[in-house]
């Protein structure tokens, strides 16, 4: 089974500053023949379902603000919020879909 480990578990960032969340996979999730990384990122606010932000590791879903970006390949991935806004306070999850489906444990983002 592929295990995703996120770091940190929580972080506090000042408004307008950068937030960086890491996601490490126990196995490579790069499909070499398709040159695609099978990784997505979600945002979840209290009492709501998750919202898709990024897929294929770096493609923003429709309507997602440009301040959200994804990067990485193979086993190491990053979600960056370039300038944190108040509405970005949430828990963020990475998800791999290379082998069945699995999620990281989540990273809570708060305002400092």
Partner 1 sequence: QVQLVQSGAEVRKPGSSVKVSCKASGDTFSTDTFTWLRQAPGRGLEWMGRIVPGVGMTNYEQRFQGRVTITADKSTNTAYLEVTRLTYDDTAVYFCARDFGMAQYFFNYWGQGTLVTVSS
| Binding-residue pattern over the window 72 to 111 for partner 1, x denoting contact by CB under 8 A | ---------------------x-x-x--xxxxxxx-----
79 half-sphere exposure, CB direction, 13 A CA radius: 31
Residue placing its CB nearer to partner 1 in the complex, 50 or 72 = 50
Least Å distance between CB 34 and partner 1?
A: 11
The two three-digit tokens of residue 7, written as one number: 């770091």
Q: Which residue has the tokens 């998750």?
A: 50
Closest among 4, 37, 7, 35 to 109, alpha carbons compared: 7
Give min distance, CB of 15 to partner 1, in A: 27
For the chain, what is the radius of gyration of the CA atoms? 13
Lay out the site mask for partner 1 across 36-65 (x = CB under 8 A, - = otherwise).
Answer: ----x--------xxxx--x-----x----
Question: Closer CB to partner 1, residue 69 or residue 83?
Answer: 69
**Helices H, strands E: what count in the chain?**
0, 13
3 touching partner 1, by CB under 8 A: no
CA distance 56 to 60: 9
Which residues lie near partner 1 (CB under 8 A)? 40, 49-52, 55, 61, 93, 95, 97, 100-106
């Amino acid at each position: 089974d592929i295990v995703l480990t996120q770091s940190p578990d929580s972080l506090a960032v000042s408004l307008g500053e950068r937030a960086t969340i890491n996601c490490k996979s126990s196995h490579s999730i790069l499909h070499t023949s398709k040159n695609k990384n099978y990784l997505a990122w979600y945002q979840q606010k209290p009492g709501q379902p998750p919202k898709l932000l990024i897929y294929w590791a770096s493609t923003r879903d429709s309507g997602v603000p440009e301040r959200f970006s994804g990067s990485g390949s193979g086993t190491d991935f990053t979600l960056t919020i370039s300038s944190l806004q108040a509405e970005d306070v949430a828990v963020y999850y990475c998800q791999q879909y290379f082998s069945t489906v699995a999620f990281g444990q989540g990273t809570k983002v708060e305002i400092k």
